[in-house]
Amino acid sequence: MTFRDFTPLVDFSLIEAAVSAFFVAVPGGSYAAAPVESATNRQAWLPGTGKIGFYTAQNLLVNQASRPRVMIRLHAINHRPGAYAIDANGSLREKAWIASMDFGIVTEPSYTSHTAQRAAVLAIIPQLITISADGTLYPGGGINALLAYHQVSEFFARSVTTDVVPAEGAYMSTIPVQLAFNVLPSAWPAGMQTY
C-alpha cells in the first residue's frame, strides 16, 4: 500500500464538489456550476440569464466579479477522536472528521434580492442530508448519492448571520454549517482494519 491508495479518502474537495453538484441539480433552482480552474473561459464566465453562479474554493479563485453568486469553503477539518483504521502497513489512518463549511452569498446592493438568495440557500441546506422515516441516515440520498469515498452524516446551519455588509458595491452574508463525515467502509483499500 502506498499513500496514493489513500489520497481520495482525504481529498475533502470532493465534498465541496458534491455540494455544488447538488445545488445545481435542485429542481426549480437557479444555480449554475462555475467552470473549473483549467477552463479557458473561466475568467469571463457568466452563469446565464436567470442563473446564479455557484462556486467552490477551487473555482472562486478565478472569478470574483460575478453577482449574484454563492460560494462555499470547507475548513476547520478536525479528526473525530477514536475513529481510526489501520492499513496493511500498520499505519494509523483517520476515518472520520468534523468540519465547517461556509456558504457565502454575494449580490448586488439590493436588500430584497440579497435576502431572497440567502433564504433560498437556507431552504436547500436541509435537503443535503436525507433521513429515513425511522430517523436514520439514508445513505443513498442527498449529497451522499454523489460521493464515492465519503458519507456525510450531519449537515446543519449554525449561527446564521442576518447582517448584510455593503462592500465593493455588493451585499454579502455568510451561512456557516457544521458537518460530520467519514470514509465509506467500501472505499478502504483491501487489508484495512477499522475501529
Q: Residue 98 belongs to a domain with what CATH number?
A: 3.30.2000.30
- Grid coordinates given for 194: 477499522
- Rounded Cα distance, 93 and 95, in Å: 6
Exposed/middle/buried for residue 143 (C-beta within 10 Å: 0-12, 13-18, 19+): buried
Q: Which residue has the higher pLDDT, 10 or 167?
A: 10
Structure confidence at residue 63 (pLDDT): 60
- Rounded Cα distance, 50 and 74, in Å: 27
The mean per-residue pLDDT over the stretch 49-78 comes to 82
pTM comes to 0.86
Planar angle of CA 25, 99, 192, nearest 5 degrees: 95
- Above 60 in pLDDT, residue 62? no
Do 59 and 88 form a contact (C-beta atoms < 8 A)?
no
- Cα–chain center distance at 103: 9
The mean per-residue pLDDT over the stretch 21-47 comes to 84
pLDDT in tens, 97-137: 999 999 999 888 888 999 999 999 999 998 898 766 665 65
Number of domains in the chain: 1
Domain extent, residue 86, equals: 3-194
Q: What percent of the chain has pLDDT over 70?
A: 88
The mean per-residue pLDDT over the stretch 58-86 comes to 82
pLDDT in tens, 132-168: 666 565 556 789 989 999 999 888 888 887 777 776 7
Q: Please, what is the average pLDDT of the chain?
A: 85
